[in-house]
Every structure is written in structure tokens, then in C-alpha cells.
Amino acid sequence: MLDRSTGLSHEKELPMTTKLDEAKGIDEAKGKVNNALSRLEKMIEQRLREETARADELAAKLAALENQHEELKRVASDVESRLERAMAHIRNLLTADQR
């Protein structure tokens, strides 16, 4: 609505944006997005390094456990062989004692 006496509009005037202002706004938004993406990329890379180190650590622990398992299997086999020999010797002694 126009105030006829002063020639002014009672409606709020919207600021006129120019193509240059719009381009600056777009460039600013692109800059913010690129900055956010860059920070996110760094965070992901850091997390990947941490998880890779953790995976390497777990792989080393697993290898150590597998080696211990193999050693325990060898020891168990050796103990079983000795036990079988001892039992055979005891049976021979019992057989000889019964004669």
C-alpha cells in the first residue's frame, strides 16, 4: 500500500540482491561445505589410521596365540606319549609281578 501523501510504501522493502551478492553467497556456501568435507575427510583418515593400527595389533596378538596353541598341542602330545609309555611299563611290571 502506498501512502499517497509521502509516496512511501507501507510494505517492507526486501533488500535487492545482485548477481554478485548471490555469487558471493554461493562461493561462501561452497567454501563452508568444502571446509566441512575437508575436516570430515581428516577425521575419517585419522580413524582409519587408528583402526589399522588396532587391526595390526590384534593380528600380532592372534599370531602369538596361534603359536602358543601349537606349542601347547606339542606339549600335550608329548605328555600323552609319556603317559602311554608309563602305562605300558606299569602293565609290564604288573605282569612280571604276577608270575
Query: Predicted confidence band at 24 (pLDDT cuts at 50, 70, 90)?
Result: confident
Task: List the chain domain ranges.
Answer: 18-98
pLDDT digits 0-9 by tens, 35-48: 999 999 999 999 99
Write down the pLDDT at residue 1.
46
Longest dimension (CA), the chain: 142
- Give the pLDDT confidence of 8-19 residue by residue, as tens digits: 555 565 556 677
Helix (H, G, I), strand (E, B) or coil at 13: coil
Of 90 and 97, the structure prediction assigns the larger pLDDT to: 90
User: Which residue is listed with cell 562461493?
Assistant: 27
What is residue 5's predicted lDDT score, i.e. its pLDDT? 54
| pLDDT at 17 (0 to 100) | 63
